[in-house]
Amino acid sequence: MSMLDKFRRGAQKASIQASAFLKEGSSKIANESHNFTQGFTLPGEAEKAAKTLASFLADPDHPESALNAIPKAVLQRARGLAIFSVLKAGFVFSGKAGSGLVIARLPDGSWSAPSCIATGGVGWGLQIGADLTEFVIVLNSEDAVRAFSMGGNVTIGGNVSAAAGPIGTGGSVQASLAHPAPMFSYSKSKGLFAGLSLEGTVLIERKDANRDFYGSAVPARDILGGRVPPPEVASRMYEVIEAAEGIDEAGLPDSSYVPTADGNHLDMKDGHTVFDAEGH
């Protein structure tokens, strides 16, 4: 075989591999996008949030799941929750878009109706494919809830600060709650916890989705303030939260950690605590 024939055969093989790679990447983007856009209405967002929370919170049928879940103690003292997913996809240039909802704890301990939120952005980078990351932000203060109630944008690290939240059980979790950041952020990509930074992320109230579902331009402060009854379509989400809050942790070992950006663990038994260094 001549050198020219070898070159032609090599080029043909490379072309076939590139075409297969592009096809596989495009197919993944299409599938992820289809699943992602199903949640753009409030009923869809509520269904998506219930599934997301079920993967972040402990399952009462399997108490040992509390060892790798948002702690019961964190959930019980939460003043609100923001649940959303971000799809990042592209070829040569990348785009990302996210949607979800936020709920607030009412004075009687129940949860408010949900208000829809969104995020987005564009960046450059040589990549192909799609990555879906799920986020749960635990709002630890009334100020954090108020930020989502003002009808504008919430900038993580601007309006209100966030820190990677603890995971697991035991006394060290309680210690991390002595001086918590206004928000604890939790994220999962490919099913694994990672302490991804949300610094600079802007979350926007989706007034269109709220108006379409509630039938009028109800402001977020009324939705999160309990002046709108919790809708039936969100019942599964509330059930998941209630079940996790009531899980029996008796007999479980004292095991807690904070996930790092690369998915590793910082063991909280080594004295690591989670707090807002600038908080007062």
Contact 74, 57 (CB under 8 A): no
In a domain, 195, yes or no: yes
Give the pLDDT of residue 13: 56
Which position has the higher pLDDT, 149 or 126? 149
| Per-residue pLDDT at 249 exceeds 80 | yes
Which position has the higher pLDDT, 211 or 262? 211
In this prediction, residue 48 has a pLDDT band, given cuts at 50, 70 and 90, of very high
Distances (CA, A) of 52 to 39, 74, 124, 218: 12, 17, 28, 26
Are 217 and 253 within one domain? yes
In a domain, 60, yes or no: yes
Are 74 and 13 within one domain? no
pLDDT digits (tens, 9 = 90+) for 164-200: 999 999 888 888 888 889 999 999 988 889 888 888 8
pLDDT digits (tens, 9 = 90+) for 191-229: 889 888 888 888 999 999 999 999 999 999 999 999 999
Are 79 and 203 within one domain? yes
Give the pLDDT of residue 270: 58
Are 211 and 243 within one domain? yes
In this prediction, residue 32 has a pLDDT band, given cuts at 50, 70 and 90, of very low
pLDDT digits (tens, 9 = 90+) for 152-162: 789 888 878 89
pLDDT digits (tens, 9 = 90+) for 112-142: 999 999 987 544 444 455 678 899 999 999 9
Report the pLDDT averaged over residues 43-68: 95
Give the pLDDT of residue 268: 73
Are 31 and 66 within one domain? no
Are 209 and 239 within one domain? yes
Are 10 and 146 within one domain? no
Percent of the chain with pLDDT over 90: 49
Q: Which domain holds residue 131?
A: 40-270
Give the pLDDT of residue 103: 98
| Per-residue pLDDT at 232 exceeds 50 | yes
Are 45 and 24 within one domain? no
Mean pLDDT of the chain: 81
Are 92 and 202 within one domain? yes
In a domain, 279, yes or no: no
Are 33 and 48 within one domain? no
- Contacting residues for 267 by C-beta, under 8 A, at least 6 apart: 257
Task: For the beta carbon of residue 115, count every other beta carbon within 10 angstroms.
Answer: 30
Give the pLDDT of residue 10: 53
In a domain, 276, yes or no: no
Are 28 and 76 within one domain? no
Q: What is the 3-state secondary structure (H, E, C) of the chain?
A: CCHHHHHHHHHHHHHHHHHHHHHHHHHHHHHHHHHHHCCCCHHHHHHHHHHHHHHHCCECCEHHHHHHCCCHHHHHCCCEEEEEEEEEEEEEEEEEEEEEEEEEECCCCCECCCEEEEEEEEEEEEEEEEEEEEEEEEECCHHHHHHHHCCCEEEECCCECEEECCEECCHHHHHHCCCCCCEEEEEEECCEEECCCCCCCEEEECHHHHHHHHCCCCCHHHHHCCCCCCCHHHHHHHHHHHHHHCCCCCCCCCCEEEECCCCCEEEHHHCCCCCCCCCC
Are 15 and 99 within one domain? no
Report the pLDDT averaged over residues 55-59: 96
Give the pLDDT of residue 33: 41
In a domain, 162, yes or no: yes
Which tokens in the block code for residue 5? 């024939």
Give the pLDDT of residue 272: 55
| Per-residue pLDDT at 243 exceeds 90 | yes
In a domain, 275, yes or no: no
In a domain, 278, yes or no: no
In a domain, 280, yes or no: no
| Per-residue pLDDT at 239 exceeds 50 | yes
Domain count, the chain: 2
